A and B are shown apart, each in its own frame.
Chain A
Amino acid sequence: KAGVTQTPRYLIKTRGQQVTLSCSPISGHRSVSWYQQTPGQGLQFLFEYFSETQRNKGNFPGRFSGRQFSNSRSEMNVSTLELGDSALYLCASSLDGVGYTFGSGTRLTVV
């Protein structure tokens, strides 16, 4: 059974650019959540999608957005990148809302 797949694994962008990250959940999982991990900050919740609807949103500026498609795949977009956006972005999918399986993440570096 395939796990959660995130692409790309690594990304380098310039300040002011925008970026789109992709997440394919485990087959059958309809909930997809996104987290940002920075050193010393743990995992900060970005948003959660369920059946193409945003169910929850964290305390991030509007530059961070996401969407979910009918096949449950999800994308997150960050516009007008800032140096502070450099982080590991993790996606997690869930079947039951208790067990969350994470992907390996996308390491974004903004220069």
Chain B
Amino acid sequence: DQQVKQNSPSLSVQEGRISILNCDYTNSMFDYFLWYKKYPAEGPTFLISISSIKDKNEDGRFTVFLNKSAKHLSLHIVPSQPGDSAVYFCAGRGNKLVFGAGTILRVKS
């Protein structure tokens, strides 16, 4: 039962443009959603979170949008930089963190 889905395995974006990473979920009981970034051979690094009672949270170049009626969230990175190239995981928090399969983001310079 995949409660969190990231349907795009990879995304390629030009430096300076916007990157939009998407995530869908099925569990209405999640109270927080989190985004993590992961480089090879390292553990995931926390990026940004959003409470289920909010619809937007912004932190510098990163903004997360939550659409509860569609059970969809997205991470926007503006402007994208080559150092943003990594695997991005979204996660929903219920009684544990449930992760999606990840999206590989490549930012081309």
Contact = CB atoms under 8 A, between A and B. Distances in A.
A and B, one complex? yes
Interface of A: 4, 6, 33, 35, 40-45, 48, 55-56, 58, 90, 92, 97-105, 107
A45 B98 contact: yes
Contacts of A98: 32, 34, 49, 93
Residue of B9, B43, B98, B101 contacting most chain A CB atoms (<10 Å): B43
Interface of B: 6, 9, 32, 34, 36, 41-46, 49, 89, 91, 93, 95-102
B97 A100 contact: yes
Contacts, number: 56
Contact of A33 (B36, B42, B96): B96
User: Chain A interface secondary structure, helix, strand, loop or mixed?
Assistant: strand
A45 B99 CA distance: 8
Contacts of A6: 43
A33 B91 CA distance: 14
Contacts of A45: 96-99
Given A41-B101, A42-B101, A104-B41, A48 B96 contact: yes
